[in-house]
Structures are given as C-alpha cells and as structure tokens.
A and B are shown apart, each in its own frame.
Chain A
Amino acid sequence: MPKFLTLRPTVVRRPADQPRLPALHGRPRIFRPRSAMPLPAWILLAAAVGLGLTLELAFYRARMRDRAGAGRDGSGAGGTP
C-alpha cells in the first residue's frame, strides 16, 4: 500500500482546563497528514522527482529485459561493448 494512504491524522488531546471548541456544524472533519506542507506543494515535489525517475526506471527495465532476452537467445547482443 502506498505510504501516503497509511498516514494518520494528528490527534491533539484537549487539556481539561480549556473550553471545548465550537461544533463544526456537521461539516466532515478534515484529515491532515502530520506535515504542515500544503497538498499542492507535495504534488509539485512528487511530480518534480517522479516524472524523471519514472522515465529512467522504464528505460532501465526495458534494457534489462533486452539483455535477459539476448542472454536466453544466446546471441549475446545485449548492448555494444
């Protein structure tokens, strides 16, 4: 499971001497990850790292597949020396 799905909201317990906060009038509670960095910034960071890395990993896997195929054929043509 991707790690971001397992993040739990921060639970802050109300001290006994503090008054209860006003009710949310039925609005759904907003769950925030532990980090205070806003979601758009996370998306940008993920895209910044992920786009190039995904491209390179796809290329690397294709080359490994080619080499494995060449090894099975016995041709030894897995890239030039």
Chain B
Amino acid sequence: MTSATIVGVLVGYLAILLAIGFWASRESGDIKGYYLAGKRLPAWVIAFSSNATGESAWLLLGLTGMGYAIGVHAFWVIMGEVLGVAMAWVFVARPFKEFTDRYDAITVPDYLTARFRDTRHVFRIVSAVVILSMVMAYVAAQLTASGKAFDTFLGTGYTAGVWIGLAIVLFYTTVGGFKAVAYSDFLQGVLMLGCLIALPLVAFPAAGGWSGVMGALEAADPNLLKPMGAFGLSVAGVASAFGFVAIGFAFLGSPQLLTRFMAATGRREIEDGGLWAVLCVIGFDVGAVLAGMAGRVLVPGLSDPETILPELSHMLFPAFFTGIFLVVVLAAIMSTVDSLLILASSVVVRDVVQNVWKPDADQRRLALLGKGVTVVIGAAGLVLALTEVRMIFWFVLFAWSGIAAAFTPVVLCSLFWKRTTRAGAIAGMVGGFLATVLWVVFFKERFWDLYEMIPGFAAGFACTVGVSLITPPDVDAARELEDVRAAVGPVF
C-alpha cells in the first residue's frame, strides 16, 4: 500500500512533466525556439528555473548531509550561494542580456565570439571541449543520484533507477526543448522549495524544538555549533570556509545559468526576477542545512549522511509525502540534467555544426540534430553512470567548478573591464579550466583540500588580465562596452 501510494505520486508527477514537454513542443521547431524558448520567458520562470538548475541533487542529498555532518560550518555554503545569486542578478544579468540581445546570441560561446570578434571560432571549440567533458561527468553524477533515489525509495535497483531517470528527462527535453526545460524547472524549483521549508518545520519539533536540537548537537559534538567547525580558526578552517563560499560564485558565469538571462523577455524581467531568485535560494539552503542538523538528532550514527533526507521523510511523513520527497529528489536531478543536456547540445549544434561546419544548414534540420545530440550525450552519461563508481558529489563539485572556472572570469572581464582582449579571454578560459583539473589531480590533497574552484578562478582571472595587458587593446570592443553601460544605466 505504501509503495503503491509513492508510485501513484511519482506517476502523477511524471505525467505533468510529459504534458509540459508536449505543450512546449510547438516552439522547439527551430534552433532559437529549441535552445532559448524564443526569448520569451517571464521573470518568475527564470528565477526558479535558474536556481533549480544550479542546485542539483547536491542540494537535497549533499547539503542536507553537510548539515548533518558538520552543522553550523555549512552556513558558509549559504553565504556563498545567496551572495553569488544576488550578485549574478544585480551585476551580471542586465549587461549580459543587453549584449546578447544586440548580438542575437543563442549560446554563451555565441556571445564570446561576437564580443571579441573571433573569426577563427576558437571560443566555440574551447567551449565545446570544456562543456562536453564536464557535462558528461555532471550528467553521470546526476543519473547516479537518480539510481540511488529510486533504489532507496522504491527498491527498483540501482541500474533500473538510472534508466528510468534518463528516459523521462530525455523525453521531455527532446520533445519540448528549452521551453519545456525552463517550465519544468520552475515546477521542480517550487517543489524543492516547499519541501525544504516543510522538512525542518516538522523535524525540529520532532527533535525537541530549537533548544533541544542545539543542546543535543552540543552534547554530541560541540564543533557542530562552531562556525569554523572542527578545524577551529586555523588555515585549514579558513580554507574550508572559503571553499564553501566559493561554491556560490559559479552562479556569476556558468553557461547553464546565463542562458536563463538570455531567454528572458526583456531587461524588466531580470530586474523583477532577482528578488524571487534570492528568496528562493535562501529557502533552499537554510532549509537543507537546518534539516540536516535536526536529522543528526533524530537519526544519529548514519554511515552515509547523504541519506538523511530519505531517512527523515520515511520517519516523519506518511507515504503520500514520502512520494512527494522522492519526486523532489528526482526534480532536483532532472532540473539539472535537462539544462546540461540542452547546454551541451547547443554547443555541438549551434557552435560547432552551424557556425563552424555548415553555416547554411536548414533551421529545422539543425533543431532535429539538436534533439539527436541531446540523446547521444544523455546516453554517454548513462554509460558513465552504469560503469563508474557511485561518487555523486565529488563529481558534481568538480564539474561545477570546471565549467565555472572556464567561463566566469572571462564573462566577468568581458562585461566589466574594457581592456579585455580576445587573446586574454581565450587564455583565461583555458587557464581556468586547466588549473581546476590540475589542482584536483596534483595539489588538492597537499593544500588543506582547498576547493578547486578557488585556484581555477584565480588562474582564470590572472590569465585573462595578464595576457590582455600584453596584447593590443580592441578599441571597438571597449566602445561597445561603454554603449552597453550607458544603455543599462547604473546599478543603484
């Protein structure tokens, strides 16, 4: 009976996703419709869908697990994410939208190519390498989470869970394109927010109220209530806190998030959407960490802290709500996988096939090719998820920082520093990406486990600025930046 209720909730949710796919399919016939929903998304959809995309299953399983394992020290993640989302909407979104509308850009490499007059398509090729390699790892990690979620909640077995998750995402992504992705992400974002608010509200009273939880945590381990955690005020503690804050800075320039700004109807939607986005991410993160902290009291001694959310849902809620929680975990997974698949597909079709290989290709054939590429990339992620170990969040954080370190420093310099040159931007992309990979492989263990995004960002900025300063400035690009600044107006 319990299983039947959970399956019923799941089937209802999946039916809604498929309906969204069919509804959005009218706009997926040409390449702009398929990849940007015809640039007609309202503020609330952009806000929730960008957060749902940015916050994969890592939010629900990983961040709740962090709250469980390290307590108050996980508040640093909240700081980074809230600040990152706010800065993205306040500083980045409006000039980026203005530029991409002027260039009629559909992808972030489109924007970089036009911004730096890159006739040799170097940005497109480098972007394709970075995005494809990282997206496959990211998708594989999310499919792994899907396998774990189905297995934990329904006992389907890991492999079946991976297949089911991928089949659903592929269906509505290929049929409905970016419009289906954005609207389903909106729905998924709302579900995630509701559950992450409800979970601590139920868990805290069950665990003895606020004072009871704090008292129990202090008794279990006093470090759980210290901002610097078990490290104390040491180099390792500062590195750990700084690494947690840095997780949020990927919101400033990751392509899968920037495409939301490009798809907005106008600049007004961006001005209105920012507040929704910030409130949403506060609800997400505070809810996840507090739920994990209450979970430590209710279910002590878990061998895998990342299973605290399913454990709490089983313990505290009736079967119907357990079904909702399964749906929410799947929502977090799918809202990220669909966006990554669309992103990778757009890089192949728009940036490589249409602009480098076959510039005169028919729009409808390109859109069809985009759907085919979406399936192929999903299948590659599937193979990786079925053969690779089950390290979900190591993969997620690595891929998250690899994409962010390649794009964020370059995008920020292109929007705010007139002296940025094409050579500098290319060097920044390559440098940021390589530094991330090399840090993980050779240095991370020896330097307090410092999160790879920090050296990645540092290298990205250093290469962009250093190479730009020794190459001749682009006067037209600098003038264009001044025009855009004048059109956008001051921030405050």
- Contacts from A to B (Cβ < 8 Å): 34-38, 40-41, 43-45, 47-49, 51-53, 55-60, 62-63, 66, 78-81
Q: Are A59 and B211 in contact (CB under 8 A)?
A: no
User: CA A36 – CA B271 in complex, angstroms?
Assistant: 39
A56 near B89: Cβ-Cβ < 8 Å: yes
Question: Which of B74-82, B329-337, B343-351 contacts the other chain?
Answer: B74-82
Instruction: Judge whether A78 and B274 touch: CB under 8 Å.
Output: no
User: Measured between alpha carbons, how far is A66 from B490 in the docked complex, in Å?
Assistant: 11
Given the known inter-chain contacts A41-B75, A55-B87, please indicate yes or no for A60 contacting B271, CB distance below 8 A.
yes
Instruction: State A57–B210 Cα separation when bound (angstroms).
Output: 29
Interface: B492 (CB within 8 A): yes
Q: A51-B86, A81-B265 given. 19 additional CB < 8 A pairs?
A: A36-B211, A37-B225, A38-B226, A40-B226, A41-B75, A41-B226, A41-B227, A48-B75, A49-B78, A51-B82, A52-B278, A52-B282, A53-B82, A53-B86, A56-B274, A60-B274, A62-B491, A79-B268, A81-B268
Q: Is B59 an interface residue (CB 8 A)?
A: no
List residues of chain A with CB within 8 A of the CB of B218: 36
What A residues does B489 contact at CB under 8 A? 66
Residues of A within 8 A of B84 (CB): 52
Q: Are A37 and B214 in contact (CB under 8 A)?
A: yes
Q: What B residues does A63 contact at CB under 8 A?
A: 271
Residues on A with beta carbons closer than 8 Å to the beta carbon of B90: 55-56, 59
Assuming the contacts A34-B211, A44-B72, asked whether A49 and B271 have C-beta atoms less than 8 A apart, the reply is no
**B72–A37 touching, CB < 8 Å:** yes
B267: interface (CB < 8 Å): yes
The answer to whether A80 and B268 touch across the interface, beta carbons within 8 angstroms, is yes
CB-nearest residue of chain A relative to B293? A37
Tally of chain B residues near chain A (CB < 8 A):
37
Query: Which of B76, B214, B286 touches A36 (beta carbons < 8 Å)?
Result: B214
**Min distance, Cβ B459 to any Cβ of chain A, angstroms:** 26
Complex contact A44–B79 (CB within 8 A) = yes
Complex formed: what's the CA distance from A40 to B274 in Å? Answer: 29
- Residue pair B82, A59 in contact (C-beta under 8 Å): no
Q: Does B237 contact A (CB under 8 A)?
A: no
A interface SS class? helix
**Most chain B CB neighbours (cut-off 10 Å) among A48, A58, A78:** A48
Confirm or deny: B83 has a beta carbon within 8 angstroms of a beta carbon on chain A: yes
User: Which residue of B90, B215, B266, B489 has the most chain A CB atoms within 10 A of its CB atom?
Assistant: B90
Measured CB to CB, the closest approach of chain B to A3, in angstroms, equals 14
Query: A49: shortest Cβ distance to chain B, in Å?
Result: 6
- Please give, as numbers and ranges, the residues of chain A lying within 8 Å of B274 by CB-CB distance: 56, 59-60
Residue contact A52 to B85, C-beta cutoff 8 Å? yes
List 19 contacting pairs A-B, 8 Å CB cutoff, sorted by A.
A37-B214, A37-B225, A38-B225, A40-B226, A41-B75, A41-B225, A41-B226, A44-B227, A45-B75, A48-B75, A49-B282, A52-B85, A52-B278, A53-B279, A55-B87, A55-B90, A58-B492, A60-B275, A79-B268
Collect the chain A residues with CB atoms within 8 Å of residue B85's CB.
52
Q: Are B227 and A55 in contact (CB under 8 A)?
A: no
B4 to chain A, nearest CB (A): 40
- A6 CB, nearest partner CB in chain B, Å: 17
* Chain A nearest Cβ from B482, distance in angstroms: 18
A53 to B215 alpha-carbon distance, docked (Å)? 29
Residues of B within 8 A of A59 (CB): 89-90, 271, 274, 491-492
Kindly list chain B residues whose C-beta atoms are within 8 Å of the C-beta of A47. 79
Contact A52 B83 (CB under 8 A): yes
Complex interface bits, B270-297 against A, C-beta within 8 A gives 1, otherwise 0: 0100110011011000100000000000
Q: How far is the CA of A41 from the CA of B225 in the complex (A)?
A: 7
Bound CA–CA A79/B281 (angstroms)? 25
CA distance A79 to B266 in the complex (A): 8
With contacts A41-B72, A41-B225, A79-B266 taken as known, whether A49 is within 8 angstroms of B82 at the C-beta atoms is yes
Residues of B within 8 A of A43 (CB): 227
List residues of chain A with CB within 8 A of the CB of B86.
51-53, 55-56
Q: Which residues of B contact A51 (CB under 8 A)?
A: 79, 82-83, 86
Nearest residue (CB) in A for B279 is A53
Contact between A48 and B78, CB atoms less than 8 A apart: yes
A56-B268 contact in complex given A34-B211, A41-B226, C-beta closer than 8 Å: no
Q: Is the CB of A35 within 8 A of B210?
A: yes
Which residues of B lie under 8 Å from residue A58 when comparing CB positions?
492
CA–CA, A56 and B227, complex, Å: 25
Residues of B within 8 A of A45 (CB): 72, 75, 78, 286
Interface residues of B in 236-288 (CB under 8 A from A): 265-268, 271, 274-275, 278-279, 281-282, 286
Once bound together, how far apart are the Cα atoms of A29 and B286, in whole Å?
32
Sort A-B residue pairs by CB-CB distance and give the 7 closest, nearest first.
A52-B82, A52-B86, A79-B268, A48-B79, A36-B214, A48-B78, A52-B83
Q: Inside 8 A of A55's CB, which chain B residues have their CB?
A: 83, 86-87, 90
Minimum distance in angstroms from A20 CB to a CB of chain B? 24
CB-CB < 8 A to B210: which residues of A? 34-37
